[in-house]
A and B are shown apart, each in its own frame.
Chain A
Amino acid sequence: MFLLGLAGLLTRRNFIFTLMCIEIMLNASGLAFVAAGSRWAQPDGQIMFLFILAMAAAEVSVGLAFVLLYHKRQLALDVDSASELRG
């Protein structure tokens, strides 16, 4: 599932898809934590997942705000066109 997200991140050029792929990767790592926690009967895995969930929510809100602003300015959602910081 993590690799699926990574592949999506590297191949899709739409901002929304990029964000969704990051979500998928976060969820994949979260799932890995939960699975590992139940395998070794430790509560840490679930606590870690809660952290990831909170972080993902923050990330999505910032990311979406960025997308909205960018869309307003450029009328496009292409990741590769956002390369003004090229050295």
Chain B
Amino acid sequence: MLQLLWLIVAIPFASAALLALFGSRLSRHAVAIIGAGSIGLSAALTLLVGAQFVFSPPAGDAYMQRLWIWMESGGFQPEIAFYLDPVSLIMLFVITFVGFLIHLYSVEYMRDDEGYARFFAYMNLFVASMLTLVLANNLLLLYLGWEGVGLCSFLLIGFWYREPQNVRAASKAFIVTRCGDTAFALGLFLLFTRLNTLDIQEVMHRATAEWSPGSGTALMAAALLLGGAVGKSAQLPLQTWLPDAMAGPTPTSALIHAATMVTAGVYLITRTHTLFSLAPDVQFAVAIIGTATMLLAAFSALAQRDMKRVLAYSTISQIGYMFLALGLGAWSAAMFHLMTHAFFKALLFLAAGVVIHAVHEQDLYRMGGLRRELRLVFWAFAIGGSALAGLPLVTAGFFSKDLILWQSWAGPNGNAWFWIAGMTGALLTSLYTFRMILLAFYGPQQAHVRSHSGLAVRLSLTTLCLLSLVGGYVDTPPHFGGSPALSNFLSSALPPLEEVHIGPITETITAFSASTVFALGFGFAYLLFGPQCARQPATNIFERLWLAGWGFDWMYDRIFVRPFQWLARKCAHDPADVPINVIAQMTIVSYRALRLTQTGRVRWYATGLAVGTVVILAIALFVR
């Protein structure tokens, strides 16, 4: 069964090619079957491969499938080869299953769009690239997938390319992530020149053997990889592209900008965790970046008016949690949160898509009272929102977030500050989630439902609801009588969670505090945005700052965009060409002067000849 691994990647690639080449000639029905069916097939294969992997694990708990050597140049021989271990298997499950549900949803959601085949071609290409990224056995193949998902993200954000602001958002996403990608590429160059290989496992072995912990090269390599991860995962300071990326179709936001692509940075750091362990300073920086991003984005989410932008900031904030976990060395906790986040954030985005389709409105303050008319969507929001905010014991988000919070105190890098920041983040998460739900579904009804969702949408929403509820039970904390199955499963690929600080804060206190801040957030949200309150966006200075995402866009506009545009305008007049243009102008002037003598009259020429002869004779005779 494990030999079928390559098919999981090849099927979406093939269907993407098929749809891109012949999509315009196929009927919508055929496009839907090919587009969603290919991902379904991949998901089924993943199930087969996963079952085989779990029940009869290969030697060394990892399976490698070598297909061919990509290119050969001296000592540089990157292969096309797939590496399956517990970490990539979990990513595989998330991508194919959540991807399939989102494709199913899109079959109905995008039904009336003229770019139906184009949409599915891009989406399939995305899934294929993402699978390449997670299965790659060497960093170069991973980079190929990395750029592939970046390209698909660009294409899908600008899917409705007739609107200029969508195109601007797409370019912005591409250019901002490009800053990170450049750092990543430099990191690859550094690793190859120092270690002479790009095979991930080999790099890890050699790095451990050759570099001492905290050495300059290790710090440099880890920092450059971190740059790539920060760009792709929309962390501080490259987070500005994600809220604008909401210009794309909602299934795109769910698949690419919530569930899978933006977590590629988390996956990269997990994959290369040995390097980060060798560079403790960079790992600490990861934790700081994660914490800062988590808090800043959560505050921004509090003030947004656009439903999708709330979810976008929430995504940035939740990935901040994952980065915090990575920085703490709690690798498996990050993977766990990645998985549950993919479930509930995809659910929230898809539900938001139904709302937007139903009422043709994205502004929370113009919705309200939709609870009765969109019953399924309301429940989807309630379940997804509770999972996001961490409703204790019954939702997936609670378990994964609780693990990170506990590690923020007890982990090797943990301290009280991370713990407090994590709790504050949890409070804010609960607050902005319920603000969104209360504004959209309670209070006076302002917008009316124009269309109802069909079977495909209902099916995918229900399944994701289920996953958001039970997804957390794969890893329950031992002191609640649970078993950390996921952590155990990951233990062959990732170092186990450590509990260093045993002190005043215990795991039970953490869990209770997390439950308390969930309740507090809900209570505050009810007090501030409940049905009894006046529904108007507050306009004090903080909220305006948060609405603008802390002014990062404004700052980057001043620091980078405007000077660059100024330079571009100056260069448009080609200052370097001036000396050359002077020569050209002189040629033109002398040509005009000489043209005057060319009258076309024979007698005039004859006169010229005669006069010339006389002059030459005079010179010959008298000048001597």
Is the CB of B606 closer than 8 A to any CB of chain A?
Answer: yes
Stretch at the interface among A5-13, A27-35, A38-46, A53-61: A5-13
Q: How far is the CB of B470 from chain A (nearest CB, A)?
A: 90
Beta-carbon contact of B610 and A10 below 8 Å: yes
Chain B, Cβ-Cβ closest to A9: B606
Interface of A, helix, strand, loop or mixed by DSSP: loop
Is the CB of B603 closer than 8 A to any CB of chain A?
Answer: yes
Beta-carbon contact of B602 and A10 below 8 Å: no
Is the CB of B25 closer than 8 A to any CB of chain A?
Answer: no
Is the CB of B590 closer than 8 A to any CB of chain A?
Answer: no
Q: How far is the CB of A17 from chain B (nearest CB, A)?
A: 11
Stretch at the interface among B354-362, B514-522, B592-600: B592-600
Beta-carbon contact of A83 and B606 below 8 Å: no
State A87–B607 Cα separation when bound (angstroms): 18
Size category of the B interface is: 10 to 19
Beta-carbon contact of B603 and A85 below 8 Å: no
Find chain A residues with CB under 8 A from B606 CB. Answer: 6, 9-10
- Proximity bits, A63-87, B CB within 8 Å = 1, else 0: 0000000000000000110111111
State A18–B615 Cα separation when bound (angstroms): 24
Find chain A residues with CB under 8 A from B607 CB. Answer: 10
Q: A6-B610, A10-B607, A10-B610 are in contact. Are A87 and B600 (CB under 8 A)?
A: yes
Q: A6-B610, A10-B610 are in contact. Are A83 and B603 (CB under 8 A)?
A: no
Q: A6-B610, A10-B607, A10-B610 are in contact. Are A87 and B602 (CB under 8 A)?
A: no
Find chain A residues with CB under 8 A from B610 CB. Answer: 6, 10
Q: How far is the CB of B405 from chain A (nearest CB, A)?
A: 88
Q: How far is the CB of A32 from chain B (nearest CB, A)?
A: 15
Size category of the A interface is: 10 to 19
Q: Which of B597, B598, B599, B601 contacts A79 (CB 8 A)?
A: B601
Beta-carbon contact of B603 and A82 below 8 Å: no
State A10–B603 Cα separation when bound (angstroms): 6
State A85–B600 Cα separation when bound (angstroms): 5
State A84–B600 Cα separation when bound (angstroms): 6
Beta-carbon contact of A87 and B595 below 8 Å: yes
Find chain B residues with CB under 8 A from A85 CB. Answer: 598, 600
Beta-carbon contact of A79 and B603 below 8 Å: yes
Chain B, Cβ-Cβ closest to A87: B598
State A79–B595 Cα separation when bound (angstroms): 20
Q: A6-B610, A10-B607, A10-B610 are in contact. Are A18 and B598 (CB under 8 A)?
A: no
Beta-carbon contact of B598 and A82 below 8 Å: no
State A6–B594 Cα separation when bound (angstroms): 25
Find chain A residues with CB under 8 A from B599 CB. Answer: 83, 86-87
State A84–B594 Cα separation when bound (angstroms): 17
State A6–B601 Cα separation when bound (angstroms): 16
Beta-carbon contact of B602 and A86 below 8 Å: no
Find chain A residues with CB under 8 A from B597 CB. Answer: 87
Chain A, Cβ-Cβ closest to B591: A87
Beta-carbon contact of A80 and B603 below 8 Å: yes
State A42–B603 Cα separation when bound (angstroms): 36
Q: How far is the CB of B24 from chain A (nearest CB, A)?
A: 57
In residues 565-603 of chain B, which contact A (Cβ within 8 Å)? 594-595, 597-603
Q: How far is the CB of B320 from chain A (nearest CB, A)?
A: 75
Beta-carbon contact of A86 and B598 below 8 Å: yes
Find chain B residues with CB under 8 A from A87 CB. Answer: 594-595, 597-600
Chain A residues close to B by CB (< 8 Å): 6, 9-10, 13, 18, 79-80, 82-87
* 5 cross-chain CB contacts under 8 A: A18-B603, A79-B602, A80-B603, A82-B600, A87-B595
The 6 closest A-B pairs by CB, nearest first: A87-B598, A86-B600, A83-B600, A87-B595, A85-B600, A83-B601
